[in-house]
Amino acid sequence: MKKLQVLYLVSAFIALILAGNAVGAGKVDSGTIEKWPQNLDNFRFDDNVSVTSNIEVSWSVGTFGQSAYFYPESNSTEVAHVTGISEVCEIEDASVYQYSGENSGDVIEGDFVVFRNLDTGYYAAFRVDDVSGSDYDSSRLFVTWYLQEDKSPNFGPCTPPSTPGPTKPQPIPVMGGLGLMLMSAGLGLIGFLRRRK
């Protein structure tokens, strides 16, 4: 009887360890770009994150003070214009958008653009916060940028903030398929051993 109880505890402990090791966290890095002049400097996500995404972009004015165009500047990078959302976490599958290797089309304040690099598998996004200026020389762009560090096309899910105010996307723990399988096997073994009593 004691042997069975020990085996039960050991099996449960192993199942918990294996399940814990299989939990991964998708990490969305983010930051802001302020007063970015058009057609002068490309933005390289790799200068701001710990991974090598090879996503580099530029922009130009669409309508002064209202909109912008975005251009992929690195090999194998494409861009898509995303409308109808207010938070990046609403992008749960960035692979479904219509991508272009040329430009985003006209993007207004509040809209998102998503970038993907076909060679590296990384996804990134901009939220257009403000387009300012009344001519080419004075035009400046303000954006919030995001990069999904685990190569997932999922920037979500959204979680409500615990306190009012701006929130920064946080890593979301995700149970991997292997972890679920191992945890199920461990729980099945525990159930089998309990029935044998």
More confident residue, 66 or 3: 66
Q: Do 6 and 98 belong together in one domain? A: no
Q: pTM to 2 decimals?
A: 0.68
Q: Do 116 and 148 belong together in one domain? A: yes
More confident residue, 177 or 99: 99
Is the confidence at residue 151, as pLDDT, over 50?
yes
Q: Do 81 and 92 belong together in one domain? A: yes
Is the confidence at residue 133, as pLDDT, over 60?
yes
Phi, psi of 31 (to 5 degrees): -170, -175
Q: Do 160 and 91 belong together in one domain? A: yes
d(CA 46, CA 143): 16
Q: Do 190 and 161 belong together in one domain? A: no
**Residue 59: is it exposed, middle or buried by C-beta count within 10 angstroms (0-12/13-18/19+)?**
buried
Q: Do 59 and 133 belong together in one domain? A: yes
Count of domains observed in the chain: 2
Name the amino acid, one letter, at 59.
W
In which domain, by residue range, is 11 found? 2-22+176-195
